[in-house]
Amino acid sequence: MFERRSSRFAIEALVLIALAVSVAVVHLNRLVIAVVMFLGWMIVSLLERAFLHSEPHYGAGLPPRYYQPEVRLPPPVIVAEAGPPELPRLAPQPVFELHLPSSQCPPSSP
């Protein structure tokens, strides 16, 4: 699949390069060159879309190219509903204590 994409890209690039060289050799106006290159790019992109549309794609609803056997799953197991586990209750403790010398303490507000 990669070889087809790379060869298709090479052909598209060669077509656009050949179109650019042929338009440059004729010495046309810049606007005409831009219009011709845009039309060439549109033709190449429409052809690319047509080629990609023929390939299977998940979003298009087409089946995949590979075979995936059906997998039989074990029957479902009923699990009793249980709440969250009980955690031991701990007394709240300070994270840290701040000890400042009296010279660095902020002044108390009245």
pLDDT in tens, 40-63: 999 988 888 887 766 666 666 666
Residue 42 domain boundaries: 2-60
Q: Radius of gyration (Cα) for the chain, nearest Å? A: 36
Q: Is 38 among the domain residues?
A: yes
Q: Is the pLDDT of residue 28 over 70?
A: yes
| Domains: count for the chain | 1
Phi, psi dihedrals of residue 95, rounded to the nearest 5°:
-70, -45
Q: How far is it, in rounded angstroms, from Cα 28 to Cα 20?
A: 11
The mean pLDDT value of the chain amounts to 78
Residues 23 and 33: beta-carbon distance below 8 Å: yes
Q: Average pLDDT, stretch 96-101?
A: 71
Q: Is the pLDDT of residue 81 over 80?
A: no
Q: What is the DSSP-derived secondary structure letter of residue 90?
A: -
Encoded tokens for 27: 């010495």
